[in-house]
A and B are shown apart, each in its own frame.
Chain A
Amino acid sequence: MELKHISKSFGAQQVLTDISLVLEEGHTLAVLGKSGCGKTTLLRIIAGLELADNGEIWLNGKNMSGVAVHKRNAVYLNQEPLLFPHMTASANIAYGLEVRGVPASDIRRQTEQMLAELGLEDQGHKRPHQLSGGQRQRVSFGRAMIIHPSVLLLDEPFGNLDPDTRKQMQELFMRLSTAHRITSLLVTHDLKEAILTGQQTAFMESGVLTMYPDTGAFLSDPRTGGQDEMAFWKKYNQS
């Protein structure tokens, strides 16, 4: 995925300023930033849910300008695991395959395989309200990953989970995205989550994106809070 000079403003307020980045296939770019820095707007523009004022989005070598949302193959997931309430967990996972006209036998096989990968073999028949928050999040990931999206856009996906579930979900996400070679852009306000999940890291502030060559450079930037975090643990260990 490549973004070239993306800008966006709402009225007089500039939300994104000249954002450019290259995300390698199968990699996860973790973008750290505070609330209101423009992360969500950036993801929505990539998904086609918002229009950029300027710039281009390239997915798999194709310019996405003017391409309808349903033809982009860019899945957008936000904090809440939004499942279709009238469908079972299996039907939710199978949804993207069904809209692509995949034969029923293939859908069944792939769905069962995905449920097993998610650790939800015996939960496929349940409706969303019968699942826990973590299970719903798993189904949400499975539903997105089963269609092998060009890019998976994750808007603080673990923000609503308790620490244990959050850790499990981070591990599951890393395992699945590696196994399926999913290209992802994950935005978070959690420093550790950004370091854990991203092969590439970036920081966003007031609509301006800074990319880093490696994790060391990311942590060295005082704006990310990495230095403060390390200083805290150093001081804590000494005491």
Chain B
Amino acid sequence: MHRRKTYASLVVSIILAALPYGILPLMSFFGRWHFPALLPETWTFQHWGSFLHSQGAVGASFLLSLGIATCTATLASTGGLLLSRAVSYSSFRQGGLFFSLLPVTMSPVLFATILLFYFQVAGLAGTLAGVILAQMLIALPFAIIYFHSFWSERILRLEQLSATLGSTPVHTYRYIIWPVARPFLLVCFFQTFIISWLEYGLTSVIGTGQIQTLTLKVFLYIQESNPSMAALSATLLILPPAILLFWNRRFVFKEVSL
């Protein structure tokens, strides 16, 4: 009986988790649909056609989001690895970690509102660089905290051993630290990619409406009461994280160890 309940709970959980991957693509094919009909009156490829052929607004936002998220995740993962080392091995370790946590604890919209003035002064408000920098303020602290557990006593001893064997610090990073950190880097890249990909508050405020990422587009279509385009945008929104998750599943779902 208990086993049957567990099995049923598992099936329900899987169905609920998989539901967006079925419903959202389906909704993107909805045509005319009037209340109180349970199903749409017409189905259409029009929305996908416009996305696939003319590379319209959604296509541009998709590519823009992809570029921003890839750039943010790459910078945050590599920068986080190096900065985390400095924090982990310094005498200011606890303080460093505390300050790393501060931006993550604040509401992104509130944080962005505070920062907007400085971004405007620096000429970064409403620019691609500004949005990437703003997202880094969330992604980088996350990466620093994530890599903190990587920089253990064992890694330090590996570095020192490599040095005593005649390796320069650059060579040690390239041939010892980088390969050993690879699974950690992949997981961090995945997580910071998701942070950037789904980021709304900082992007909308610092982007000043000029940087229209896919997440912003979903909200825009919902506000416009355009469920088909919102569903299409949302389908595109859940696709890259799902692909990344599938590629990195052996690192994401298994405990990463040395």
Contacts and interface: CB of A to CB of B under 8 A. Distances in A.
B164 A74 contact: yes
Contacts of A80: 157
B164 A76 contact: yes
Interface in A40-77: 47-49, 68-77
Contact of B164 (A75, A84, A86, A100): A75
Contacts of A147: 165-166
Given A84-B176, A85-B180, A70 B158 contact: no
Contacts of B165: 70, 75, 95-96, 99, 143-144, 147
B166 A73 contact: yes
Contact of B158 (A68, A84, A99, A153): A84
A143 B179 CA distance: 19
Nearest to A92: B165
B171 interface: yes
Contacts of A75: 164-165
B160 interface: yes
A49 B160 contact: yes
The bracket for how many chain A residues form the interface is 20 to 34
Interface residues of B, number: 20
A118 B184 CA distance: 34
B55 interface: no
B163 interface: yes
A110 interface: no
Contacts of A76: 160-161, 164
A99 B164 contact: no
Interface string A11-23: 0000000000000
Contacts of A73: 166
B4 to A, nearest CB: 40
A41 B154 CA distance: 18
Interface string B39-80: 000000000000000000000000000000000000000000
B161 A99 contact: no
Interface of B: 154, 157-158, 160-169, 171, 175-176, 179-180, 182, 258
26 contacts: A47-B160, A69-B160, A69-B163, A70-B163, A70-B164, A70-B166, A70-B167, A70-B169, A73-B166, A74-B164, A76-B160, A76-B161, A76-B164, A84-B158, A84-B162, A84-B176, A84-B180, A85-B258, A86-B180, A95-B165, A95-B167, A96-B165, A96-B166, A99-B167, A99-B168, A143-B165
Given A69-B163, A82-B161, 15 more contacts: A47-B160, A48-B164, A68-B163, A70-B168, A72-B164, A74-B164, A75-B165, A76-B160, A76-B164, A85-B258, A95-B175, A96-B165, A100-B166, A144-B165, A147-B166
